[in-house]
Structures are given as C-alpha cells and as structure tokens.
Amino acid sequence: MHRNVDLIKVNLEKTYKDSYEIFIGEDIMDRVGLITKLKNHADRCVIITDSYVNPLYGEMVRERLGELAIPVDIIEISAGESSKSLNTVLDVARQLVRLNVSRKSFLVALGGGVVGDVTGFIASIYMRSIPYVQIPTTLLAQVDSSVGGKTGVDLPEGKNLVGTFYQPRAVYIDLSFLKTLSDRDFANGLAEIIKYGIIGDRSLFELLESESQGIKERNPSLMKSLVGRSCKIKAGIVEMDEKEFGLRRVLNFGHTLGHALEAASGYSLSHGEAIAIGMVGAAKISHRLNHLDGESYTRIVDLIKEYGLPTRIPTGSDTSQIPGFMATDKKVVAGQVHFVLIKKIGDPFVTPEVPSGVVEEVIEELG
C-alpha cells in the first residue's frame, strides 16, 4: 500500500547566531564586564578556574565582572590535565545547581586549555546548554584551545574522548596573563604558533625566525602580533569547517605523531614538546616523499630548536608503542592513519598515503 510521506525540514542554519568576537589586548580585563553586559542579560555568572590561576587572577576578574551588578561566584578545580574528567564535570555541575545557576546565567572559563575544555563542555550540557565566555590565560589557550568551540574531557582510554562542539559567546585575550606563565608552558604555546606559521602563514613563520629574541623575552607588541595572527588563522579555518570534516584537519599538523609520542612517554613530554617532535616527523615524511625541499625542512627544524623545543625523541623512550597509539587516534579514517604533510611552508595537505615503512623509518631516525 502506498503511504503518504510528509516532509518537514528542521532548518538549523545557525552559523550567524554562533558567531562571536575575539578581543585581544593588554590589561583589557576592565572591559570584560562592560562588553559581557552588552552581550548577555544574565542573572548571575560563575567563573570556573583552576587552583593555580585562582590565587593569581580569580579575585581580579571577579571584581571586574562586578560591573555587571549580578552575583559572581568562583568554582575552583585542581590545576592539571587530571581535572579533565567526567568526575570534575559532575562535581562542578552539582555546585552550579547549588548556586542556582539557571539557563539565564553564564559561565566564564578563566585559565588554560584544561579549564576552557571542561567549562565549555559543562556549558554545553548543563540544563541543555548555557552561554559561556573564554578568558584564556596560557599562550596555548590564547592561540588555540579558546577559539573554535571544541570542548571535552578525557577517559581512562584516551584524551578528549567525550566532548561537544560548542562555541563561546566571546573570547577575551589579555596578554598580561602571559607574564606569570612558566617557560615550559610558554614554549607549549609557541609550538602551536610555529604550527600556524608552517600550515597557514609563511610571513608568520618568517617573523618567528627574525624576531626570536624579542619573542622569547615575551615582548608585548610581538606577542600581540603572534596571538592575533594565530587566532586569525584558526578562526578562518574553523569558519570553513567547524566540525572538522575536512579543512580543519590541517590544524593537526604534527599532532598524529605528536599525540602518539605524548601517550607513549606516559605524558612526561608536554603537549608542545611532543608536537614539536611530531612537526619535525611530519616535515621529514613530507621531504622523504618528495613533497618538501631540503632547505625548507632544515628551516623548520632550526626554528623549533631556536625556541628551545625538542626535535628528537628523548633517549630511552619506548618507540615500539608509537604505531599502536597512532592507530587509535581519533583522526584515523576507515583504519587509515591520515597525515597532514606540507608541500612548502604555508601549504599543507591531508593524505592517507604514507607507507607504514616510511613512518617507521622516520620514527627510528628521530630517536
């Protein structure tokens, strides 16, 4: 029997609604309250921060948000990656309920990538989603994790395995937070900036080469330029491919091998250190497969070294586990490990066609 089928389209064209602005400057926290007030008519706000950042900046930001004339509370989570867990999510969500946080309230992520990822995730699921803004305080969070709306937590089985895509309402990047950042965390952020130079902006790469002294001294105007250019590249890629179906994957340059190295080292390598070695690996594979010339390869290695980041796998590491970790990466498609390679500085492409023999050789040479 023929059945009539009615078709109703649920039209969720939400690109415009999800658009937001990134504010970058020094000592701009005094503008946070005002701008936020213009954007949200909220009944209350909760700052989520970590146990290291809270004593440094928690009260200062709370005071600035006082301009909103609404209750502002602070919830502190322990500093470190171990807080990116479902336990933290449950614990914070229950505290939000006790603070009477409703769908008219908003959250503020004040901290590095851990705080940003956890807060964004909670905002996306608490009462079926409430707004949040990002105030990133590490260089990595300022140039990478606070922009793009990837949120989530880790499982014992691996990093970032539970999460959502949920964009913040605004991102406030205050470069003055960088003054208190450790050298290791500063280098972590630089690794991502070097990545942007390699995949998206040859002139950014050249700036990193020519101004390394000032950048290492955290010169404010140079940092403003680096952070702004990095955010522009990330925002441009996210605009075209919010959910990482295609283009956004180029942001994983150095990450396929880097994530595997990070895991194989039992996380003794920091993310930036692992990505630095991963970028050398990806450049080496690009050169080996005749996509990249030798001079560009050498420039990449020299730049990474210049910023005190490693270019070789630390001696004594168990490299036998690396291929196994690469095979379980989220970016594996139909059993194939996809690599981001480059044809030249500023010209990346994604390919599944890297013979496993070449990968193994490169891992051995990096050791």
Which residues of the shown chain bind ligand NAD in the complex (CB under 6 A)?
A: 50, 52-53, 79-81, 84, 111-115, 117, 137-138, 140-141, 144-145, 148, 150, 159-160, 177, 180-181, 185, 188, 271
Residue number, 23 or 71, with CB nearest to ligand NAD:
23
360 is catalytic: no
Most distant CA atoms of the chain, gap in Å:
78
Catalytic residue among 40, 188, 192, 288: 192
188 is catalytic: no
Residue number, 96 or 238, with CB nearest to ligand NAD:
238
Residue number, 70 or 233, with CB nearest to ligand NAD:
233
202 is catalytic: no
Minimum distance between the CB of residue 210 and ligand NAD, rounded to whole angstroms? 26
Catalytic residue among 81, 206, 211, 244: 244
Minimum distance between the CB of residue 149 and ligand NAD, rounded to whole angstroms? 8
248 is catalytic: yes
Residue number, 91 or 206, with CB nearest to ligand NAD:
91
192 is catalytic: yes
d(CA 195, CA 241): 18
255 is catalytic: yes
- 152's CB contacts (< 8 A; 6+ apart) are 84, 117, 120, 121, 160, 161, 162, 163, 164
Catalytic residue among 259, 287, 288, 338: 259
Kindly give the interhelix angle for 183-200 and 294-306, rounded to the nearest 10 degrees: 160
128 is catalytic: yes
Q: Distances from the Cα of 305 to the Cαs of 203, 280, 282, in angstroms?
A: 19, 10, 16
Give the gyration radius of the chain's Cα atoms: 21
Q: Distances from the Cα of 206 to the Cαs of 56, 149, 345, in angstroms?
A: 34, 29, 10
Minimum distance between the CB of residue 152 and ligand NAD, rounded to whole angstroms? 7
Catalytic residue among 62, 234, 287, 288: 234
100 is catalytic: no
- 110's CB contacts (< 8 A; 6+ apart) are 47, 48, 49, 53, 57, 58, 61, 135, 137
Minimum distance between the CB of residue 115 and ligand NAD, rounded to whole angstroms? 6
Residue, CB closest to ligand NAD:
113
Catalytic residue among 62, 64, 84, 150: 150
244 is catalytic: yes
Minimum distance between the CB of residue 359 and ligand NAD, rounded to whole angstroms? 23
Minimum distance between the CB of residue 26 and ligand NAD, rounded to whole angstroms? 13
Q: Is the sign of the CA dihedral 238, 244, 249, 251 positive or negative?
A: positive
291 is catalytic: no
Residue number, 57 or 297, with CB nearest to ligand NAD:
57
- Residue 239, number of CB atoms within 10 A of its CB: 13
Helices and strands (DSSP H and E) totals, the chain = 15, 10
Minimum distance between the CB of residue 158 and ligand NAD, rounded to whole angstroms? 11
Sheet holding 72-77, edge to edge: 21-25, 170-174, 132-136, 106-111, 45-50, 72-77
* Residue 292, token pair as written in the block: 């990249």
Catalytic residue among 62, 249, 271, 338: 271
Residue number, 70 or 141, with CB nearest to ligand NAD:
141
Residue number, 132 or 297, with CB nearest to ligand NAD:
132
- Residue 217, number of CB atoms within 10 A of its CB: 11
Catalytic residue among 64, 195, 229, 248: 248
Sort strands 21-25 and 170-174 into parallel, antiparallel or unpaired. parallel
Question: Annotated active-site positions, please?
Answer: 128, 150, 192, 234, 244, 248, 252, 255, 259, 271
